[in-house]
Chain A
Amino acid sequence: NAGVMQNPRHLVRRRGQEARLRCSPMKGHSHVYWYRQLPEEGLKFMVYLQKENIIDESGMPKERFSAEFPKEGPSILRIQQVVRGDSAAYFCASSPYSRGDEQYFGPGTRLTVT
Chain B
Amino acid sequence: QQQVKQSPQSLIVQKGGISIINCAYENTAFDYFPWYQQFPGKGPALLIAIRPDVSEKKEGRFTISFNKSAKQFSLHIMDSQPGDSATYFCAASINDYKLSFGAGTTVTVRA
Checking A4, A40, A43 against B99 with a beta-carbon cut-off of 8 angstroms, the contacting residue is A43
In the complex, the answer to whether A42 meets B6 with C-beta atoms within 8 Å is yes
Q: List, in ascending order, chain B residues with CB within 8 A of A58's CB.
A: 98
Q: List, in ascending order, chain B residues with CB within 8 A of A95's CB.
A: 97
A36 to chain B, nearest CB (A): 11
Q: List, in ascending order, chain A residues with CB within 8 A of B89's CB.
A: 42-43
Considering only residues 17-68 of chain B, those with a C-beta below 8 Å from chain A are: 32, 34, 36, 41-46, 49
The reply to whether the CB of A69 lies closer than 8 angstroms to some CB of chain B is: no
| Distance A93 CA – B96 CA, assembled complex (angstroms) | 13
In the complex, the answer to whether B97 meets A98 with C-beta atoms within 8 Å is yes
Checking A6, A35, A40, A103 against B103 with a beta-carbon cut-off of 8 angstroms, the contacting residue is A40
The reply to whether the CB of A72 lies closer than 8 angstroms to some CB of chain B is: no
B27 to chain A, nearest CB (A): 14
Given A4-B43, A102-B46, A105-B45: A48 and B101 interface contact (C-beta under 8 Å): no
* Chain B residue nearest to A99 in the complex (CB): B96
| Distance A26 CA – B53 CA, assembled complex (angstroms) | 30
* Chain B residue nearest to A58 in the complex (CB): B98
In the complex, the answer to whether A106 meets B32 with C-beta atoms within 8 Å is no
| Distance A78 CA – B18 CA, assembled complex (angstroms) | 43
Considering only residues 1-39 of chain A, those with a C-beta below 8 Å from chain B are: 4, 6, 31, 33, 35
The reply to whether the CB of B7 lies closer than 8 angstroms to some CB of chain A is: no
Checking B4, B96, B103 against A100 with a beta-carbon cut-off of 8 angstroms, the contacting residue is B96
Q: List, in ascending order, chain B residues with CB within 8 A of A108's CB.
A: 42-43
Which positions in B face A, CB cutoff 8 Å? 2, 4, 6, 32, 34, 36, 41-46, 49, 89, 91, 93, 95-104
Please provide the 9 A-B residue pairs with the shortest distance between their CB atoms, ordered closest to farther.
A100-B97, A42-B101, A105-B43, A100-B96, A99-B96, A101-B96, A43-B101, A105-B44, A42-B103
Which positions in A face B, CB cutoff 8 Å? 4, 6, 31, 33, 35, 40-45, 48, 56, 58-59, 91, 93, 95, 98-108
